């Protein structure tokens, strides 16, 4: 099969690598303890040398910061601690000068709703002195032009006259997904925090405003968007009650009522047409959707919607990182997963996208997930570098576009196990902690262990640049503590060491370009699905092919060479490995010793 690598929508992503930056935690330039745009610009050369082609910034727009910037109050201004529009322009110029692109984070499902904050619905270049507060006006009067900019419904009343929300949907952050607002005496929808009301995208004027925002930053030189929970923008028009599947709560999760609504393709196609007009890049986050055909509808080259999707099951391994050990008891409930689970989901999407001309987004972690080295490998000092290299191999030799989260290239790990709740900053973790009965000491200890494994703050500790105070991130105390291991794990040390994780990740990204026909667009097949410690797969093209073998175990393992890949070991050359296997004379049935958390790539 020949994939459509010459398709116009494929050109921008076909062999690109993306570096994700969480601005507040990357580099502080002014000593306030919070990372900013000027700090990012100061490290552009470091990013370029990896090498990567695209830089993606988490949200930078003006916000009251109830949910770390994902509650936006003004899409045309930059949050004051992060920088200014001039700083964005300078960053765009600096990246373009080096042949790189900038992708911005965009949230179009919700906005901010906070006292003293307004949502500004105008480009300042059009109306410099006029401010249009959407939510304030929407709540002020049923006759307001903005009254239907948000999803609002009348209350329901029980026989005793008690007021209730329009339905029993649950919020992702706990409690009801509805909040009563008086005036106007109606409930507004918020799938996330109470101060994040859901926009009513059924209203064409809302969509017009959102499309204007998209065009505004593209006109300034941005090269595309990552769109947060973009599949939530079309909801069931009747807002029906969800069936009761959580007996202990009157608020129920029934996400099929808003995961892929009846008008979702229409809205996405409109966005796709804007991106096509500008010839820019788009990736959408699409949580909770695992159906392959639903995903393909969004990313097929002929759909003209989005370039690729974050699905959060495994559009490579991140789907595992969200679902594989999240169980019905909730995210912070202990569960087990196996390497077989990872291999199965990986193979499912690699094969499906190849056979159906779709495209995978490859990542092991992001700003909402813990550090992959702590989650899937071994983060102890003796294994950390090997683990970082092994995971880079497992991810980097699969088909799709690779996303590297800041610090992945160094092997940064989760927060220390002895962190107390006072050190955490994320609203999700703090809300969960408040719900724990104060007398259950054993429960709180267990939850602290789960936070150190899964909490979003694991990903948000400051980048460790060098051995200076605060790891060179800031000259003052950071907004969240720096990991205490920065004296032995930092960018300066690894850039000087040719055997470091940083240089290995750079090698993997370079090999993706050198062997594009195999690694980026070739076919994929697992070699042995059920091996308890080894993940092995073959990538094939017309010529040549490659074999990837990764041992996730802390001990050396014996791997039996299957018949259909023995030629790759016997006749190929090892292009990337951190041990020196002897492949001479190997035949089917022979056993290859793979060292602890190590990997072999033969081409």
How do the domains of the chain map onto residue ranges? 134-189, 418-486, 523-602
First to last CA, the chain: 20
> Which helix (H) or strand (E) segment is 239 a member of?
none
Top-confidence residue, 589 or 528: 528
- Distance CA(139)–CA(237), nearest Å, equals 21
Query: What does the alpha-carbon distance between residue 472 and residue 487 come to, in Å, rounded to a whole number?
Result: 11
Rounded percentage of the chain residues whose pLDDT exceeds 90: 37
Cα separation, 209 vs 194, in Å, equals 23
Mean pLDDT of 27-36: 96
Which of the pair, 329 or 264, is modelled with greater confidence?
A: 264
In the structure, what pLDDT confidence band is assigned to residue 312 with cuts at 50, 70 and 90? low
- Tell me the two tokens of residue 584: 């001479």
Neighbour-count burial of 530, counting CB atoms closer than 10 A to its CB (0-12 exposed, 13-18 middle, 19+ buried)? exposed
Most confident option among 88-92, 304-308, 427-431: 88-92
**For residue 589, pLDDT beyond 70:** no
Give me the pLDDT at residue 265, please.
Answer: 87
Q: Rounded distance, CA 352 to CA 22, Å?
A: 31
- Among 285, 288, 368, 428, which one carries the catalytic annotation? 285
The residue ranges of DSSP E strands in 499-573, in sequence order, are 523-526, 534-540, 545-551, 557-560
Give Cα 387 distance to the centre of its chain: 21
Q: What's the mean pLDDT in 412-423?
A: 90
The whole-angstrom separation of Cα 251 and Cα 245 is 10
Confidence (pLDDT) at 139:
57
Cβ proximity of 460 and 425 under 8 Å: yes
- 288 has catalytic annotation: no
Q: Are 433 and 447 in contact (CB under 8 A)?
A: yes
Do residues 473 and 482 make contact, with C-beta atoms less than 8 angstroms apart?
yes
Give CA 131 to chain center in angstroms: 33
Q: Tens of pLDDT along 497-544?
A: 999 999 999 999 999 998 888 888 889 988 876 678 888 888 888 766
Q: What's the pLDDT at 189?
A: 92
Q: Which residue has the tokens 């970082």?
A: 388
Lowest mean pLDDT among 16-30, 124-138, 407-421: 124-138
pLDDT (tens digit, 9 = 90+) per residue, 274-310? 999 999 988 888 877 777 777 777 776 667 788 887 7
By the 10 Å C-beta count (0-12 exposed, 13-18 middle, 19+ buried), 412 is classed as buried
Asked if residue 351 has pLDDT above 80, the reply is: yes
**Cα–Cα distance measured from residue 361 to residue 18, given in angstroms and rounded to the nearest whole number:** 10
374 vs 576, higher pLDDT:
374
pLDDT at 531: 75
Q: How confident is the model at residue 562 (pLDDT cuts 50, 70, 90)?
A: confident
pLDDT at 452: 84
Per-residue model confidence as pLDDT tens digits over 221-263: 999 999 988 889 999 999 999 887 766 678 887 778 888 888 9
Helix (H, G, I), strand (E, B) or coil at 309: strand
**Who has greater pLDDT, 369 or 134?**
369
Q: Supply the pTM of this predicted model.
A: 0.88
Kindly report, residue by residue over 129-160, the tens digit of the pLDDT: 333 356 656 655 566 666 788 898 999 998 88
What does the pLDDT read at residue 143? 62
Instruction: Tell me which CATH homologous superfamily contains domain 134-189.
Output: Oligo-1,6-glucosidase; Domain 2 (3.90.400.10)
Angle made by CA atoms 64, 68, 71, in degrees to the nearest 5? 50
Per DSSP bridges, beta strands 101-107 and 224-228 are: parallel
Q: Are 261 and 267 in contact (CB under 8 A)?
A: no
Q: Reduce the DSSP state of residue 261 to 3 states and report it.
A: coil
Q: What does the alpha-carbon distance between residue 407 and residue 473 come to, in Å, rounded to a whole number?
A: 13
* CA pair distance 205, 211, nearest whole angstrom: 10
The dihedrals phi and psi of 210, each to the nearest 5 degrees, come to: -65, -40
Is the confidence at residue 103, as pLDDT, over 50?
yes
Residue indicated by tokens 């509650």? 71
Q: How far apart are CA 82 and CA 78, in angstroms?
A: 7
Answer yes or no: 285 catalytic: yes
Contact (CB, 8 A) for 541 and 523 = yes
Decide which of 364 and 496 is more confident. Answer: 496
Q: How far apart are CA 156 and CA 241, in angstroms?
A: 12
**Burial class of residue 16, CB neighbours in 10 A (0-12, 13-18, 19+):** buried
Mean pLDDT of the residues in the chain: 81
Cα separation, 354 vs 360, in Å, equals 9
**CA distances for 540 relative to 72, 157, 515, angstroms:** 45, 63, 11
Is the Cβ–Cβ distance between 10 and 4 less than 8 Å?
Answer: yes
Q: Are 402 and 395 in contact (CB under 8 A)?
A: yes
**Residue 9 pLDDT more than 50?**
no
Q: What is the CB-side half-sphere exposure of residue 23 using CA atoms within 13 A?
A: 29
C-beta of residue 135 within 8 angstroms of C-beta of residue 197: yes
Coil/strand/helix, residue 585: coil
- Which homologous superfamily does the CATH classification assign to the domain defined by 523-602? Golgi alpha-mannosidase II (2.60.40.1180)
Note the pLDDT of residue 138: 61
Least confident of 184-198, 365-379, 493-507: 365-379
Residue 550 has pLDDT above 80, yes or no: yes
Pairing of β 281-285 and β 224-228: parallel
Q: Which one from 36, 198, 228, 457 is the annotated catalytic residue?
A: 228
Q: What pLDDT shows up at residue 42?
A: 98
Three-class SS state of 198: strand
Lowest average pLDDT, out of 407-421, 447-461, 550-564, 585-599, goes to 585-599
Q: Order across the sheet with 178-181: list the strands.
A: 152-153, 186-189, 178-181
Per-residue model confidence (pLDDT) at position 126: 37
Q: Is pLDDT above 50 for 128?
A: no
Q: Are 368 and 459 in contact (CB under 8 A)?
A: yes
The stretches of 455-543 forming alpha helices (DSSP H) are: 491-496, 501-514, 516-519
């Amino acid at each position: 099969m020949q994939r459509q690598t010459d398709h116009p929508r494929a050109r921008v992503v076909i062999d690109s690598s993306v570096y994700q930056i969480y601005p507040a935690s990357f580099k502080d330039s002014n000593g306030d303890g919070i990372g900013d745009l000027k700090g990012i610009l100061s490290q552009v050369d470091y990013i370029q040398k990896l090498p990567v082609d695209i830089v993606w910034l988490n949200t930078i727009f003006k916000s009251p910061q109830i949910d770390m910037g994902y509650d936006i109050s003004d899409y045309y201004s930059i949050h004051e601690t992060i920088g200014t529009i001039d700083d964005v322009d300078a960053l765009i110029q600096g990246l373009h000068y080096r042949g790189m692109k900038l992708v911005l984070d965009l949230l179009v499902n919700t906005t901010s709703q906070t006292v003293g904050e307004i949502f500004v619905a105008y480009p300042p270049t059009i109306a410099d002195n006029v401010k249009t507060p959407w939510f304030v006006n929407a709540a002020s009067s049923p006759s307001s032009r903005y009254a239907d900019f948000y999803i609002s419904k009348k209350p329901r009343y029980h026989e005793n006259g008690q007021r209730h929300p329009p339905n029993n949907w649950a919020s992702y952050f706990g409690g009801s997904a509805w909040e009563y607002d008086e005036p106007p005496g109606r409930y507004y929808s918020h799938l996330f925090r109470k101060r994040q009301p859901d926009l009513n995208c059924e209203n064409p004027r809302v969509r017009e405003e959102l499309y204007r925002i998209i065009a505004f930053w593209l006109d300034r030189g941005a090269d595309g968007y990552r769109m947060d929970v973009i599949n939530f923008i079309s909801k069931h028009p009747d807002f029906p009650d969800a069936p009761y599947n959580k007996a202990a709560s009157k608020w129920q999760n029934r996400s099929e009522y808003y995961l892929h609504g009846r008008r979702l393709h229409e809205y996405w196609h409109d966005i796709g047409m804007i991106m096509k007009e500008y010839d820019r890049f788009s990736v959408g986050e699409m949580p909770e959707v695992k159906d392959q055909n639903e995903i393909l509808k969004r990313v097929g080259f002929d759909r003209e919607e989005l370039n690729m999707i974050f699905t959060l099951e495994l559009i490579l391994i991140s789907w595992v990182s969200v679902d594989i050990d999240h169980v019905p008891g909730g995210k912070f409930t202990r569960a087990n997963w196996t390497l077989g689970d990872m291999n199965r989901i990986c193979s499912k999407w690699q094969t499906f996208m190849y056979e159906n001309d779709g495209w995978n987004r490859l990542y092991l972690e992001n700003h909402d997930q813990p550090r992959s080295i702590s989650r899937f490998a071994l983060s102890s000092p003796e294994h950390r570098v090997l683990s970082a290299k092994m995971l880079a191999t497992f991810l980097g030799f699969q088909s799709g576009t690779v996303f590297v989260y800041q610090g992945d290239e160094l092997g940064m790990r989760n927060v220390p196990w002895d962190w107390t709740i006072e050190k955490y900053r994320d609203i999700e973790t703090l809300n969960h902690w408040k719900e724990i009965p104060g007398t259950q000491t054993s429960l709180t200890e267990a939850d602290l262990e789960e936070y150190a494994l899964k909490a979003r703050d694991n990903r948000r500790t400051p980048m460790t640049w060098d051995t200076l105070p605060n790891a060179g991130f800031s000259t003052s105390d950071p907004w969240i503590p720096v990991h205490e291991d920065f004296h032995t794990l930092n960018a300066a040390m690894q850039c000087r060491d040719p055997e470091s994780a940083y240089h290995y990740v750079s090698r993997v990204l370079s090999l993706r370009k050198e062997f594009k026909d195999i690694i980026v667009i070739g076919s994929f097949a697992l070699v042995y699905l059920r091996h308890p410690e080894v993940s092995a797969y073959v990538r094939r093209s017309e010529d040549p092919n490659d074999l990837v073998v990764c041992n996730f175990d802390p001990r050396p393992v014996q791997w039996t060479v299957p018949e259909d890949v023995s030629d790759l070991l016997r006749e190929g050359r090892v292009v990337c490995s951190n041990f020196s296997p002897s492949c001479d004379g190997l035949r089917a049935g022979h056993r290859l010793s793979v060292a602890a958390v190590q990997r072999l790539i033969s081409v």
